[in-house]
Amino acid sequence: MFADLAQLTISGLATGAIYALAAMGFTLLWQTSSTINFAQGEFVMVPAFIMLGFLGIGMPLIFAFALTLAASALIFGVGFKRAVVDPMIRHGVLPLAIAAMALSLALQQGVKLVFGAEARSVPDILPDGVTRIVGVAVSYRDVGVLVISFVLILGLQLFLARTLTGRAMQASAQNPDGARVLGINVDRMILYTFLANAALASIAALLVTPIYLAKFDLGGPLGLKAFCAAIIGGFNQMHGALAGGLLIGVIENLTGAYFAPQYKDAAALVLFVIVILFKPEGLFGRREERRV
């Protein structure tokens, strides 16, 4: 009984850490450029297929991933900012969000057009196998995912808090006018957050697709959970996204095992609705005043 629970919790944490990666990117974009990226799930799905493309021409996994990272930084970092966000942002938050929805539709259908509707398997960078720790079966894969995600998230936090560029990025997010006065190139800082988001999403793709397979409609549920994680944790707090992601991963797993497997996907949503109804600023977020 305890062993089952612990096992489910650990694998839930691993899935949740992947949600957290996508959720962090989501939060970053919102903070720096008021972008509600409805295509966040597709930002994970498309790199998986780009990587499959590189693997298909016989490239080793590590090179394929490096090239994928570069390609998605170009497409979903620079390209997305310049072609969609920059022209749309002056029209307001909502039109931009709707444009992102249109983009998600185009990406989904585009991948379906090129690669077809079948799910494809993706090679795993993490080792197979299980070890037993005090009677609890722990897979190497889950541990690997957790370690990679935590290192990335902590690294990003440290970068934002400790380095000059990181602080300039935070300043640009919190007070763009003030940052400009201080001589910070706000536009460039915003671009950096887009690049960071693209990188986080690509790494999430690398971690998630070996288990869940690469499919054109993978992005929908993933993006939804990333958003739920960001809201549950608190949209204006980076560590909130991490906590929200982990929480969703665990609750989802427990719901699937003990309550109703067919409603596993609903767990995140129910939690999300409860949070926005009773604590809209999120579990760890600061309250924002409703402005006139």
Partner 1 sequence: MRTALRIAALVAILAALIVAPQYLRNYGIYLLSLWSLFAIAAMGLNLTLGYAGQMSLAQAAFLGIGAYAVALLVKAGVPFWVGVPLATLVAFAVGLLLGFPALRVQHHYLAFATLGFNVLVYLAIRNEDWLTGGSMGIGQVMGFAGMPRPSIFGYSLRRGIDFYYLCLAMLCLSTLLVWLLLRSPWGRAFAALRDNPVRAESLAIDIRAYTLLAFAIGAGLAGFAGAFYAPLVQLFDPSPFGLLESLSLLLMVVVGGSGRFWGPHIGAALVLLLPHWLQALLPAWLGPPDQWYLFVFGIAVLVLLTWCPGGLLAIPDRLRARAQ
DSSP-derived 3-state class of residue 263: helix
SS3 per residue for 151-217: HHHHHHHHHHHHCHHHHHHHHHHHCHHHHHHCCCCHHHHHHHHHHHHHHHHHHHHHHHHHHHCECCC
Nearer to partner 1, 108 or 193 (CB): 108
Indicate which single residue of 273, 286, 287, 288 sits in contact with partner 1 (rule: CB under 8 A).
273
Site track 222-241 with partner 1 (rule: CB under 8 A), x = hit: --x--xx--x----------
Nearer to partner 1, 101 or 257 (CB): 101
Q: Does 95 bind partner 1 (CB under 8 A)?
A: yes
Indicate which single residue of 49, 54, 65, 272 sits in contact with partner 1 (rule: CB under 8 A).
272
Total number of residues binding partner 1 (CB under 8 A)?
44
Helices (H) and strands (E) in the chain, counts: 13, 2
Q: Does 218 bind partner 1 (CB under 8 A)?
A: no
Cα distance between residue 289 and residue 176, in whole Å: 19
Q: Does 156 bind partner 1 (CB under 8 A)?
A: no
Instruction: Please report where in the chains the tokens 């609705």 appear, as a residue.
Output: 273
Site track 46-85 with partner 1 (rule: CB under 8 A), x = hit: -------------------------------------xx-
CB of 92 to partner 1, least distance (A): 8
Cα distance between residue 268 and residue 21, in whole Å: 16
Q: Does 263 bind partner 1 (CB under 8 A)?
A: yes
DSSP-derived 3-state class of residue 290: coil
Which DSSP string do the residues of 19-87 spell out, in sequence order?
Answer: HHHHHHHHHHHHHHH----TTHHHHHHHHHHHHHHHHHTT--HHHHHHHHHHHHIIIIIIIHIIIIIHH
Q: Does 289 bind partner 1 (CB under 8 A)?
A: no
Q: Which residues bind partner 1 (CB under 8 A)?
A: 36, 38, 83-84, 87-88, 91, 93-95, 97-99, 101-110, 112-113, 220, 224, 227-228, 231, 260, 262-263, 265-266, 269-270, 272-273, 276-277, 280, 290, 292
